[in-house]
Amino acid sequence: MERILFGDNQFFAVNHISDEKSRAQSIKFKDDQAIITTLDEAIGAGINTFMCTTHDRIANICDIIRANPDKYRDFKIYPCMPYAHKYANAVTELGIAGTLKQYVPGNFLGSLFKGGIAYLSKDYLSIMELLIDSEMKMFKGINTPVIFLQNVITDLLLGLKANEIFVAFHQYIRKKYDAEAGFITMNMPMLLDVLQQGGIENPVICSSINKAGFRMSGGKEIYEKTLQTKKIRAIAMQVLGGGAIPPKEAIEYVCNLPNIESILFGASSKGNIENTVSNIHHFDKTRL
């Protein structure tokens, strides 16, 4: 993985601290061209990996990338699935079974919902595989070396102790897409233990890691200890703690932690992208 990964929250009005900023972002990135312009600015600053949700609009971005193979030759995408709000809103409206009916492709589920039919538990993993394939369709022909499970799903499964699903996800991503499985979580130390117990060595885990301890469940100390003592390929996100920490201080903290392979951030302006990149390079060089 590259040291710096570019995120997509800003493109889809995801802002953890302000609804107003979120609307401003929605307006700014109304057209796909605005997203491409910002991606090009990130590439200009030396970032060649875009980590993004499987939002409908990413399909358009993928079309543009495929249409310009020379320009995007070294460009990689790390898909993060599923785009949770799509399913969450559907579950509110249609229920769990109704949502699966709507999103699982083909007639696969028809027999499952007619009731009374015994089905094997491996069918759940088949449903998962079908959902992965349907989410991955938009990335056809694009280099996707790491494929992530989004935090809402990861953490839901973690709480339910459905640990086998993680292993199945990991295996399927490797087998079908020749890629590494990644996991986004808000509960990194707990997840790492579970993945190791499941035989997934040195897993790619993306989680909030910041000086303020924001969204670091169980506390910052447990995270720091985990990074120091365990085998993990960590990606730090929310390094600015939702804006609570001054940028330089924030980057300095993350750059000095062990085992952080990559830093994920998103920004809307060229200036902010360049500043963050230069801060990371600076603190990587002066690392204690």
Partner 1 sequence: MVKIGLIGAGKMGISHLAILGAHPGVEVVGVCDTSKMVNDFLSKYGNFNCFTDYQKMISQVKPDAVFVAVPTKFHYSIIKELLEKNIHVFAEKPFCLTVAQGEELVKMAAERKLVNQIGYHNKFVGTFREVKKIVAGGALGNIYHFVGEAYGPVVTNKKQDTWRSDPSEGGGCLLDYASHIIDLINDILSPVISSKGSLLKSVYSSNVEDAVYSLLELTSGVSGVLSVNWSDDTYRKMSTSITVIGTKGKIISDANELKVFFKDSDYPAGYSKGWNVKYITDLTEEVDFYLRGEEYSAQVDYFVKAVEGKVRNTINTFESAWYTDRAISIIKNSTK
What x-and-dash track marks residues 62-81 binding partner 1 by CB under 8 A?
--------------------
For the bound state, the minimum distance from the C-beta of residue 180 to partner 1, rounded and expressed in Å, comes to 23
Stretch that binds partner 1, among 68-76, 83-91, 138-146, 169-177 (CB under 8 A): 83-91
Q: Which two tokens stand for residue 159?
A: 């709480």
- Gyration radius (Cα) of the chain, Å: 19
* DSSP string of 196-234, one letter each residue: HHTT--S-EEEEE--TT-TT-TT-HHHHHHHHHHS--EE
Task: Please name every residue paired with 237 in a beta bridge, in sequence order, or none if there are none.
Answer: 208
Among 244, 247, 282, 284, binds partner 1 (CB under 8 A): 244
By CB atoms closer than 10 A (0-12, 13-18, 19+), residue 12 is buried
| Distance, CA of 223 to CA of 123 (rounded, Å) | 36
Instruction: Choose between 95 and 246: whose C-beta lies nearer to partner 1.
Output: 95
Amino acid at 29: F
| Distance, CA of 196 to CA of 230 (rounded, Å) | 10
For the bound state, the minimum distance from the C-beta of residue 241 to partner 1, rounded and expressed in Å, comes to 6
Q: For 3, which DSSP code? A: S
Among 56, 68, 97, 174, binds partner 1 (CB under 8 A): 97
* 91 lies in the binding site for partner 1 (CB under 8 A): yes
* 24 lies in the binding site for partner 1 (CB under 8 A): no
- Contacting partner 1 within 191-230 (CB under 8 A): 212-219
In this structure, the strands spanning 49-53 and 180-185 are unpaired
| Distance, CA of 71 to CA of 29 (rounded, Å) | 21
Q: For 150, which DSSP code? A: P
- Contacting partner 1 within 136-165 (CB under 8 A): 152, 155-165
Query: Residue 80 belongs to what H/E stretch?
Result: strand 76-81
Stretch that binds partner 1, among 58-66, 89-97, 137-145, 274-282 (CB under 8 A): 89-97
* 110 lies in the binding site for partner 1 (CB under 8 A): no
| Distance, CA of 31 to CA of 16 (rounded, Å) | 22
Instruction: Choose between 45 and 244: whose C-beta lies nearer to partner 1.
Output: 244
For the bound state, the minimum distance from the C-beta of residue 166 to partner 1, rounded and expressed in Å, comes to 10
Please give the residue ranges that form the binding site for partner 1 (CB under 8 A). 12-20, 22-23, 26, 85, 88-89, 91-98, 112-113, 115, 121, 124, 152, 155-165, 186-187, 190, 212-219, 241-244
